[in-house]
Chain A
Amino acid sequence: MTNTLHRYSEHYAFEPPPNPQAVNNDFIVFAMASRGLNDDELVQKYRTFLRLALKHNPVNIGDATKGGTLRPQQALNPTAHWKRDQTADAEEVIAGIEGHTTVAAVFDNYDDMEAFVDEVKDAQLGISVNISAPIDAAERCCHDTGITRHSVEYSLGFCGRVDRLPDATTLELSTMCGHGMLSANFAMKMVDWVKENRRSPAQAARYMARFCTCGVFNIKRAEGIIEKVCNLNRQDRSGG
């Protein structure tokens, strides 16, 4: 599962611009146990991990088997079309953990991520913890928290039929659900709806977040991307 590895940014454009814009609002910290090695009291370990995360203002948390803080709603009534509950429910994520899974917390700034990592280190949960983010930011976080990183994995981007990929803005949005559950067509529809003033960027981001089945969709970053493309008329660079 490489679900957060290939989040698209200008650095991975087929022809990258000379000075690609740094991604400074998207940091994921996730935890994963190994069967038979460190999965004792697993539910408690995962819940502790997410409770610690909640102290540092995550924009989303998730359980890979159940979803994030915004999930599909199975029994809406027609009033939802006018007044829908869009409240993120972190407690549902924590209470729903039943066993083996991957739990993740998404932060929109470095400081919150670093403070959380520092606290997770001190908690000594014994499960594997990873940062999925710009490599330099993760390395800096390790340095600042006194951690010696164990292993690294680099995203090298896409090759092959890149002509079949959508535009850069759509890729930025859709690859935030690394499992591919957020369709490019739906991301484009949401951007169009914001352009048409049918929905706000915050509402559009929340619709998209519900399709991410592991809760690593960065709702704040999505809002920013949509605002930028709709308000500033940004020129898309081809993802392919």
Chain B
Amino acid sequence: MKIDADKCVACGNCLPVCPMGAIHIDPAHNRARINADECVECFTCYRGMSKEHLNPTFVRAVRKTAKFFRFRFDPEPDICPTDAIVPEELRWPRVVRRAFSDPQVPHESTGIHGRGTAEVKTNDVTNRVAQGEAGFVVEFGRPGVGARFRDIERVTQALAELGVEFESNNPVTSLMTDPARGLIRPEILNEKILSAIVEIKTKLDAVPGVLNKIRELSRQVETVISIGVSTRCGNAGEEPLREILAREGYPTYRGKTNLGLGRVTTMQNGK
């Protein structure tokens, strides 16, 4: 992403909008600038801001006059008045930034918009996580911190040593050169992204060990990690996971509940 200096009027509206805080007003040129190394190509500034398409010369003149008299204009905070934010063509390896940061871009590996897979959200038709199993979603960088792949690899390598199974359809797994060792393509290790999700599956009795390992590893990375754990319920809707998590001292207040209303219908309809 870049700012068109010919259009920018240095209104500053885009600065707080950036989830990574990567935009500033360059005092030497009085234009907004994007720190390319910190920008994760999430497109929030470009797509999230409303636009006016005003003439930059006119807007600068109005702003200059108001500034001279120390008037504080109180504009709408989510508008780029001159449409000055411009996407750039992204090349490898920078293109992975957008793939993991802009939820409106579907991953080629999964076909799903977002940064992971369907997890247990479609478990009622995919049976991805069975009874007695636990599915982990380990998300790096969220909320609002961002992550580099080298931190993610540090964790995937250690998890691989535990013998866990990485979800094969997951976007991070698709970027591994050696999933058995948790190794990620070296040319992307310095790329920064808004967040990425590593998905693994274990038996339920391995949950405490895996969680302890993730906690331990989280102290060695420069980002935040958010963890979700799932399982399939029994015939009466019961499940043993919550008790395991409570015993280990983890909060279990919030979560997702798959209601089991999904069914395979394409066969019925002749597809």
Contacts and interface: CB of A to CB of B under 8 A. Distances in A.
The SS class assigned to the B binding surface is loop
A161 B228 contact: no
A154 B143 contact: no
A72 B50 contact: yes
Nearest to A145: B259
B47 A128 contact: no
Nearest to B253: A11
A181 B19 contact: yes
Interface in B6-49: 15-19, 21, 42, 44, 47-49
Interface string B225-251: 111111111011101011001000011
Given A179-B103, A183-B144, A153 B137 contact: yes
A211 B255 contact: no
A154 B242 contact: yes
A148 B227 contact: no
Interface residues of B, number: 96
B211 A151 contact: no
A6 B228 contact: yes
Nearest to B129: A151
**What secondary structure prevails in chain A residues at the interface with B?**
loop
Contact of B250 (A8, A130, A156, A198): A156
Contact of A149 (B15, B143, B237): B237
A2 B237 contact: no
Given A74-B50, A147-B261, A159 B77 contact: no
B198 to A, nearest CB: 12
Given A135-B252, A151-B232, A213-B103, 8 more contacts: A3-B114, A38-B265, A130-B121, A130-B257, A135-B242, A148-B235, A161-B223, A164-B145
Interface of A: 1-9, 11-12, 16, 20, 23, 30, 32-41, 64-65, 72-78, 80-81, 84, 100-102, 117, 120-121, 124-135, 138-139, 142, 147-162, 164-166, 171, 174-175, 178-186, 188-190, 193, 198, 207, 210-211, 213-214
The list of the 6 closest CB pairs from A to B, nearest first, reads A1-B114, A150-B260, A153-B230, A128-B262, A160-B218, A138-B257
